[in-house]
């Protein structure tokens, strides 16, 4: 595996299914697992480098994996990247690391994985922190969103993808404040994206879990930017009404990456939630 500029290497877990998952393991205390989204060049540290240290300072052990198909983790091209496959790899990673129970923090695809994991393994989950999670709409409805349409245009265009076009895509699709998208972030994700294979996006399948939300047991904190361009805002009320033990934070001047755009607020509220419920 080539080194990705800007992304430090951590540890590796050899899974029972034969794949290898890369992760960072920092701090001591109750475990908190950070699950990143599916954007091009995504990885655990890229999504959460400004967040997991605050959770560690709050008295927790942070596990920050690269999902299967991303970052330094294995990228098989002969599998279907279903939600069940992501959950299987996460469960086997936690088994290998020796974590029996954890809180899960997930945005976008990572939020859908967190929800499905909590449904499949309720005794293994303490709390959920979700940021505009997937899994609460039909897949076709996501592709009606302007950010998703822009993503399709950018990544299927015959025009070669450049770092400049990737940067503009991140600005237009994910954030309100363009200064959040630094050249360093783009260079890092550009390098990581070149190592991905198209099978991840091509075969990704995320079911609509809305009807199963009442089955979730533990406390849930959801963040949702009111300038969201990737996820339909109908998900706000589906989560607010569907989850029995939930609270919702709606943020103006905020897009898809709340943990970057409102980092201090996100960290403060997440740590308080993890400590106090």
Active-site residue numbers?
256
DSSP E strand stretches across 97-252: 102-107, 125-131, 220-225, 246-251
Q: How far apart are CA 6 and CA 162, in angstroms?
A: 18
Q: Within its chain, how far is the Cα of 105 from the centroid? A: 8
Contact status, residue 256 vs residue 229, Cβ threshold 8 Å: yes
What are the beta bridge partners of residue 24? 64
DSSP E strand stretches across 204-257: 220-225, 246-251
Token output for 36: 């990143």
Q: HSE (CB half, 13 Å, CA atoms) of 15?
A: 21
Q: Within its chain, how far is the Cα of 83 from the centroid? A: 13
- Listing from the earlier edge strand, what are the strands of the sheet with 102-107? 11-14, 20-26, 61-65, 31-35, 102-107, 125-131, 220-225, 246-251
Question: What residue has token string 């098989």?
Answer: 76
């Amino acid at each position: 595996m080539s080194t990705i500029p800007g992304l430090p290497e951590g540890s590796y877990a050899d899974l029972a299914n034969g794949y290898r998952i890369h992760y960072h393991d920092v701090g001591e205390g109750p475990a908190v697992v950070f699950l990143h989204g599916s954007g091009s060049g995504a990885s655990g540290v890229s999504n959460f480098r400004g967040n997991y240290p605050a959770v560690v300072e709050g008295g927790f052990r942070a596990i920050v994996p690269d999902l299967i198909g991303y970052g330094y983790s294995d990228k098989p091209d002969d599998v279907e990247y279903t939600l069940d496959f992501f959950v299987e790899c996460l469960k086997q990673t936690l088994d290998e690391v020796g974590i029996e129970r954890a809180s899960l923090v997930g945005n976008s695809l990572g939020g859908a994985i967190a929800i499905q994991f909590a449904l499949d393994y309720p005794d293994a989950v303490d709390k959920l922190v979700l940021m505009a999670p997937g899994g609460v709409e039909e897949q076709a409805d996501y592709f009606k969103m302007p950010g998703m349409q822009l993503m399709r245009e950018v990544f299927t265009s015959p025009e070669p993808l450049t770092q400049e076009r990737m940067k503009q895509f991140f600005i237009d699709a994910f954030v309100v404040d363009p200064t959040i998208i630094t050249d360093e972030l783009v260079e890092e994700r550009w390098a990581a994206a070149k190592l991905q294979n198209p099978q991840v996006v091509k075969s990704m399948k995320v079911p609509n879990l809305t009807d199963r939300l009442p089955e979730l047991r533990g406390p849930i904190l959801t963040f949702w930017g009111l300038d969201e361009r990737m996820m339909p805002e109908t998900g706000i009320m589906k989560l607010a009404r569907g989850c029995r033990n939930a609270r919702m934070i709606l943020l103006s001047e905020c897009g898809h990456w709340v943990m970057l755009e409102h980092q201090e607020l996100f960290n403060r509220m997440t740590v308080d939630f993890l400590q106090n419920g």
